[in-house]
Amino acid sequence: MKMILAIVNHDDSGDVIGGLTEGGFMVTKIATIGGFLKKDNTTIILGVDDEKVDSAIEIIYSKSHSRQQMVPVVTEHGFAYSPETLLEVTVGGATIFVLDVERFEKM
Ligand code: 2BA
């Protein structure tokens, strides 16, 4: 068994979770915040059989979209907000970790 941790854009989380539950996966949603942009994102936890990992990842990617975001550059004087000092950052589709599950219990 594997545990998948998928960090997705907050705006895509409904579609991703809908796709996964339609595909027969059990999911848990956690409201999270990205350390760099300090914006809401969503972390989805799934416990899945090894042979279903690829199918879950396919659903997650198909429902996640990357976005461009402008962020102010930090200078020695603090944040600089003029247009010349805004940096374009590409966020997502999805950041996915697949971990081995040593033991799984459910009462
Ligand atoms: P954030 O940390 O808010 O990062 C948002 C986007 O900012 C990132 O998009 C990346 O394009 C950029 N970025 C992040 N850290 C940077 C840095 N030190 N220098 C320059 N640019 C940086 P994604 O890579 O698509 O990541 C989206 C979200 O996924 C992240 O939000 C974070 O919450 C999570 N994430 C990504 N990689 C991770 C990792 N290795 N470990 C834990 N969480 C991760």
Query: Is 9 in contact with 91 (CB distance < 8 Å)?
Result: yes
All residue ranges of the chain with pLDDT < 50 are none
Confidence (pLDDT) at 78: 65
The residue ranges of DSSP E strands in the chain, in sequence order, are 2-9, 27-33, 40-48, 67-75, 78-80, 86-91, 94-100
Confidence (pLDDT) at 67: 92
DSSP structure class, residue 37 = T
For atom 19 of ligand 1, which residue has the closest CA?
A: 36
Instruction: Enter the CATH code of domain 2-65+92-100.
Output: 3.30.70.120
With a Cβ cut-off of 6 Å, ligand 1 is lined by 7, 34-37, 39, 41, 89-92, 95
Using CA atoms, how far residue 42 sits from 10, 69, 74, in Å, is 5, 17, 26
Confidence (pLDDT) at 44: 98
Query: Is 66 in contact with 93 (CB distance < 8 Å)?
Result: yes
User: 28-59: per-residue pLDDT in tens?
Assistant: 999 999 998 889 999 999 999 999 999 999 99
Domain ranges of the chain: 2-65+92-100
